[in-house]
Amino acid sequence: MVPVVLHHGLFGFGELSAGPLKVSYFGSIARAISALGHPVVVSGVHPTAGVVTRARQLKENILRQLDILGRPRDRVVVVAHSMGGLDARYMVCRLGMADRVAAVLTVTAPHRGSPFADWCVLHFEKRFGAYRLLNSLGLDVQAGNDLTTMSCRKFNEQVPDAPGVKYFSVSAARPWNLVPPFALPSWRIIHDAEGDNDGLVSVKSSTWGTHLGVWPADHWHTLNRRYVLELKDPTGDITPYYLKALEKVVGAL
């Protein structure tokens, strides 16, 4: 079966281990995809670097892991969460990976940026120089600038979809009372600017290529990190949503 690459977003990670304890960004989602028979590659790139850096690391991850799996010439399906969607698109278009990637499925990715990233740049960078300070301390936080609506507008002009690669997307959205309390400020900022959103990314921004629908989840719930008690019509485990979307992608290849 086609190999599936699971690529994390901002502040994400691949797999972390501490003795017998192992934590994965995608958790049960990765295990369920593997159980279907797909060889699974889990990426691990810089959590806060810019798209260019992360995309290069993603390419290295994929090629190295395919060699380990003994499938160095296989084309893969990249399932990319959040900012990871921009990394995947850049990698395919600009880093010569169009012949190695059959399809890209982005999950609530900010293809057109996020008004909340705009707000952060305005209040933290322009007023206080927070990003420049962090960079001067050796911390790469270019992601903060790359996720603004202006940066993503330029990104989309410079990173067209690659011929021969299929692009799919899913969005997520919840009303304000069903997002975690810590996400209410960002939800409001994005809602006022772009409407329905998951607390970090709007449906408008996350729609790209063939749109496979809007999941009833907040941004964290799309990774099965649930911080809100669902009393009515619960979404529950998000894993089946991934499997259904992946089925559609693979069926279109």
Q: Please write the tens of the pLDDT for every residue from 118-157.
A: 988 877 665 556 566 556 656 767 888 899 999 999 999 9
Task: Using pLDDT thresholds of 50, 70 and 90, give the confidence band for residue 18.
Answer: low
Model confidence band, residue 16 (pLDDT cutoffs 50, 70, 90): low
CB-based contacts of 179, cutoff 8 Å, min separation 6? 187, 198, 199, 218, 228
- Distance from C-alpha of 27 to C-alpha of 217, rounded to nearest angstrom: 17
Residue 94 has pLDDT above 90, yes or no: yes
Q: What percent of the chain has pLDDT over 70?
A: 91
Three-state DSSP class for residue 5:
strand
Angle between helices 149-158 and 84-94 (to 10 degrees): 20
Question: In this model, does residue 247 exceed pLDDT 80?
Answer: yes
Interacting residues of 205 by C-beta distance below 8 A, sequence separation 6+: 110, 111, 112, 113, 114, 152, 194
Q: What is the pLDDT of residue 232?
A: 86
Q: What is the pLDDT of residue 12?
A: 85
pLDDT band at 108 (very low <50, low <70, confident <90, very high): very high
- Phi, psi (deg, nearest 5) at residue 104: -120, 125
pLDDT top residue among 215 and 13: 215
CATH placement of domain 4-252: 3.40.50.1820
Q: Provide the pLDDT for residue 126.
A: 58
Partners of residue 172 on adjacent β-strands: 215
The answer to whether 228 and 180 are in contact (CB under 8 A) is yes
Of the candidates 125, 146, 126, which has an alpha carbon nearest to the alpha carbon of residue 134? 125
| Domain boundaries of the chain, sorted by first residue | 4-252
d(CA 3, CA 66): 8
Residue 175 is encoded by which pair of tokens? 């009303």
Instruction: Give the pLDDT confidence score for residue 231 in this predicted structure.
Output: 84
pLDDT score of 13 = 81
